[in-house]
Chains A and B, each alone.
Chain A
Amino acid sequence: MRTLRRLAGESAALVLAGVVFLIPFSFMLLTAVKDGPQSADLDFSWPTSWPIVANFREVIEARDYILLRAYVNSILVTVVAVGFIVVFAAMAGYVIQRRPGRVAAIANVLVLSGLIIPPAIVPTIWLLQGMGLFKTVPGLILVEIAFNLSFAVLLFRAFVAGIPRELDEAAMMDGCTGWKLFFKVVFPLLRPVAITVALTTSVAIFNDFVNPLYFLPGDDHPTVQTTLYSFQSQYSTQWNLLFMDIVLITIPPLLTFIFFNRKIVAGMTAGAVKG
């Protein structure tokens, strides 16, 4: 009897948690497939008509295909930045772990400050402008690399600790040292953590709103998150289109989540608890 009541209580709590987390998402989906007038009610009613294709086309074609251009920019920034982050952070994480001493201590302090210190925004804009990179896609890529390096280095450093040193030594016996040792022997072994870093940072960069807002302003180079911003002001009454946009830009993280759920979660916890 007591166990039964406990089970009922726990199930109720679980259901409540499920409802609290699922309702906002079902609201997004429902509003995205309604017609204009009905979506303006912003309620939880069932759609009377289903203009899914029409809404989809209208969002895509809006403002000279701004959403498609934004997709191209966001994917470009994400892929290039994540590629560099994975390679650069793996190299740094490897030396930090393998060569303890004063240099590593300084590197560690820098990594931690990268996690804690809020970036100085206007001076960064000033610097990028001096380099001719303000309001350019390469400028934003550089910013995303610099701001996301620390977290990646931490994850790599923790992972390298689990790779036996003997492996380095065996490779050196075969005449492999320095950069060759790293890229031929060590880097391939870092694959599991490299995947975790790639997944978490790509979601973070794809979803980033603040840095594009500051470093890539204007409509010349939209990113998916800033389209939301402009859709919101343009379609303040066309809620179905705004929510269709939300649904469309949520699809990439959703797919990442569905395919790599376990890996993301495992890597996150490994880094967060040890770090």
Chain B
Amino acid sequence: MVVDDRPSAGPRAKSAGPGPSRSARRRTGAAQPYSLYLPAGVVYLVIFLVPTAMAFYFSLTRWTLFESQFVGLQNYKDFFAEQSLRISLQNTLVYAVVTSLLKVVFGLLLGVMLTSRLRTTGFLRSVVFFPVLVSTVAVGITFSVLLRPDTGLVDKALALVGVSGTDWLGSAQTALLSVALVDVWKGVGLATVIYIAGILSIPQTYYEAVAVDGGGAWQRFRHVTFPLSWPATYSVVLLSLIGGLRSFDLIWTMTRGGPGFSSDVIASIIYKQYQAGFYGLSTAGNVVLFVLVTALILPLSWYLGKKEVAA
């Protein structure tokens, strides 16, 4: 027996109304099967999502990797009770905010400079971007040598102009900020490139309008370049905040969190607790970092995104 479904297909196709017919749309759909998600989805689910979900459970246990004993919120209590761990929370915030602010300021400055009509800009764009590609550990080692007290290049250069430097990485007051500055040195190239792209996409007519109104370089920057490169600012702030909150390798190679705990961040605490065998506590640190990043980034990206639409 032959089942003929053509009559019923007719009216349905008609009822779909204007535009591509429903059956055609369904066919387009099948041409991009969901199974294309499969390989990426499986790896992501198993290696990333499962451990992330398990972290919530294991952070509530005393854990040896083989056995875990449920202890409730004890790890979190320890985390927030211990002075050294609480410092890391504060340091993480300071580090992330300082690095992203400075990356915005210097990235914008360099971006404006390197889109100006000067001959060396091509060369300088490469020079500024290159540190982005060098490994963080190599940068960290090099700068911990350059920042040595007295004999280091930075202190020697300061001595030339009559300023006496300090032990940048050895003093509790300056260690965290010194590392943050090196982070900016390494990462500002990416911010600059993003700003260059943003500035180059601003239509020339706006600058002409400022010129007609008799505005100078400052007016051009104040009323055109800065507001219209807002999407670039948005990207730079979010990228460097996320990077700053999770930062570990530079801090670890330059100070190991020291002196004392003065430059410890959550990520370095996670590593120290892991090394010491406190797996549950280490994982609790991970959850704290997770909550901190999400609580900061989600509202901020929503707020900055809204402002972008308004601009």
Contacts and interface: CB of A to CB of B under 8 A. Distances in A.
Interface string A248-275: 0110011011000100110011101101
Given A99-B29, A269-B193, A121 B282 contact: yes
B298 to A, nearest CB: 8
A119 B48 contact: yes
Given A24-B146, A44-B153, A116 B128 contact: no
Interface of B is mostly: helix
B215 to A, nearest CB: 15
Query: Size band of the B side of the interface?
Result: 35 or more
B152 A153 contact: no
Interface in B78-110: 110
Nearest to B270: A121
Given A43-B151, A91-B39, A146 B47 contact: yes
Nearest to B241: A116
Given A91-B40, A119-B51, A210-B249, A24 B142 contact: yes
Contacts of B133: 203, 207, 253-254, 256-257, 264
A110 interface: yes
26 contacts: A10-B116, A11-B120, A14-B118, A14-B124, A18-B124, A24-B185, A44-B153, A95-B32, A110-B49, A115-B242, A117-B293, A118-B289, A122-B279, A125-B65, A126-B58, A129-B65, A142-B43, A168-B28, A206-B135, A207-B133, A207-B135, A213-B271, A242-B141, A269-B193, A272-B194, A273-B232
Interface of B: 27-37, 39-41, 43-44, 46-52, 54-55, 58, 63, 65, 110, 113, 116, 118, 120-121, 123-131, 133-139, 141-143, 145-146, 148, 151-153, 156, 185, 190, 193-194, 196-198, 217, 231-232, 235, 239, 242, 245-246, 248-249, 253, 267, 270-271, 274, 279, 282-283, 286-287, 289-290, 293-294, 297-298
